[in-house]
Amino acid sequence: MRGLAAAALALALASGAAARSAPGDAAGTFLRIPVGARAIGMGGAYTAVSDDPYAMHYNPAGLGWIDNDEVTFQYNNLILDLNQQYIGYVHPLRRGSFGLAWNRVDFGSFDRTLITSGTTFASAGKFDASSNAVTFAYGRPIGERVSLGLQAKWIWEDIAGFTASAGAVDAGIHYRDPNGRLRIGATVQNVGSEIKFLTRSDPLPLLARVGISYQPTDRLLFTSDVEKSIDSEWNVRVGTEYWLVESMALRAGFDPTNEESANYTVGLGFRWRDFKLVYTFTDEGVLDQTHRLAPGFRRGGMGNPPPSISPGASRSSRIRSAVLAPSPVRACDRLSARTSQTIPAITKIQKISMKRPPKPNQ
């Protein structure tokens, strides 16, 4: 119920903001470019998944479930010389987890043109443009089923030597059922000040997302997001993931945000011990095709937890499951207990044998 209430609040905020801003009026729209090859491979429907450092882009509440240090990196060559880099790091604390991320979009170089007089133009070299955001995040479980997340980010954009900046906060909530199969997430993002270039100020792209995912088996995952931004229409994203074997996964999704593209995404995922490598392909239509490659490292391994420790359980539940699960130490304890019971019995038999008179010689 808490998750549904938060989702309703998030959508209400987004709808109210949309009424105050027309499409194309927002600044910092690079914040809406999806990151994470795994997430993009599932159509960007990641609000209810958010179980790695990319949670800082989709739902910071997902950080509350991360128990191991993890770092991820993505390089995305979008079109022409426009590219995106994202690096994220998560460190578990005694209560919850802390995250740090840097998201950068480099728009490349442009020709600088000066108007000399009337319709006369002159070339004045080139200029660069880029957008950046640094995020500090914290997620913490509240009980065994709900996690809350909050993050602050500093945003700055540079065009031809002119810089504009703004601060913003994101908040999210994440729910997992006792079996870890059903997950629900909601988030409100980019709540902050306006970005001002020279004399013009524009709002940040205030965004609300609600997502749900369901895992009917350990290998299969379905996920979906509904989102609304102040500078876009309602969008519904869907995606799926299937692990062929323990080390390789297939992904597919539908992303309706690019009207010029085919809207579908496909991807592959590989993992081995502490490492993972994820690849995603998207067809951008007239803007050509996009390939994304994202390596990652998680201390403690990338494999799924054993069935006795549900992926949806909280830290306390996993600790209790680990305590109750069989282990070599407890096996040795049981063997020691049996041995301690057997030794006195053997000693008693030996004493009885010593009291018996010796047999006469034949």
Q: What does residue 338 show for φ and ψ, rounded to 5 degrees?
A: -65, -40
* Full DSSP string of 137-172: EEEEEETTTEEEEEEEEEEEEEETTEEEEEEEEEEE
- In this prediction, residue 10 carries a pLDDT of 39
- In this prediction, residue 312 carries a pLDDT of 41
Residue labelled with tokens 């209430």: 5
| Per-domain residue ranges of the chain | 2-306
> Residue 252 CB: number of other CB atoms within 10 A?
16
CA distances from 296 to 36, 60, 73, 247, 249 (A): 10, 18, 6, 14, 15
63 and 236 Cβ atoms separated by less than 8 Å: no
Q: What does residue 228 show for φ and ψ, rounded to 5 degrees?
A: -145, 130
Q: Which residues contact 352 (CB under 8 A, 6 or more apart)?
A: none
> In this prediction, what percent of the chain has a pLDDT beyond 90?
41
- In this prediction, residue 333 carries a pLDDT of 44
Give 86-126 pLDDT, tens digit per residue. 999 999 998 999 999 999 999 888 888 877 776 777 777 88
Q: Which residues contact 237 (CB under 8 A, 6 or more apart)?
A: 43, 44, 45, 224, 225, 226, 227, 253, 254, 255, 256, 257
- In this prediction, residue 162 carries a pLDDT of 86
- CATH match of 2-306 with 1.20.120.1200: no
- In this prediction, residue 5 carries a pLDDT of 40
Low-confidence ranges of the chain (pLDDT < 50): 1-21, 303-343, 345-362
- In this prediction, residue 360 carries a pLDDT of 45
